[in-house]
């Protein structure tokens, strides 16, 4: 039978990082918490990078952030497309107005001589 992954609470992780910040040795805290020192490094980095949003649990935070980034990127692309299409429409309208002006100013022949 395989071992199941241990799960630590947000408070436990924050307390372990706090002990490190107060000057306790990494190896000492790792032994006391019964975790690998690399895990403590990761917890400290996550707390530093995400602050109060760190350790949201079950990996959902990162998935949600990834989704948010994806949607923001999509909105940005759509904004660029809208700007491009507005410029195209403006160009077409200017050409239509210019064509209408040139049609009015040019003499119109009603009949041709044969």
What ranges do the domains of the chain cover?
7-55
Q: Does residue 53 register a pLDDT over 80? A: yes
pTM of the model: 0.48
**How does DSSP classify residue 106?**
S
Question: What is the CATH number assigned to the segment(s) 7-55?
Answer: 1.10.10
Mean pLDDT over residues 38-49, rounded? 93
| Per-residue pLDDT tens digits for 83-109 | 999 999 999 999 999 998 888 766 656
Q: What is the pLDDT of residues 66-88, one digit of tens each?
A: 788 889 999 999 999 999 999 99
């Amino acid at each position: 039978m395989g071992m199941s992954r241990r799960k630590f609470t947000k408070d436990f992780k924050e307390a372990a990082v706090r002990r490190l910040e107060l000057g306790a040795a990494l190896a000492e805290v790792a032994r006391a918490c019964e975790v690998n020192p690399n895990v403590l490094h990761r917890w400290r980095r996550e707390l530093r990078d995400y602050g109060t949003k760190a350790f949201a649990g079950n990996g959902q935070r990162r998935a949600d952030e990834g989704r948010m980034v994806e949607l923001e990127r999509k909105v940005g692309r759509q904004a660029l497309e809208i700007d491009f299409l507005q410029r195209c429409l403006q160009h077409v309208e200017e050409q239509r107005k210019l064509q209408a002006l040139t049609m009015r100013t040019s003499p119109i022949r009603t009949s041709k001589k044969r």
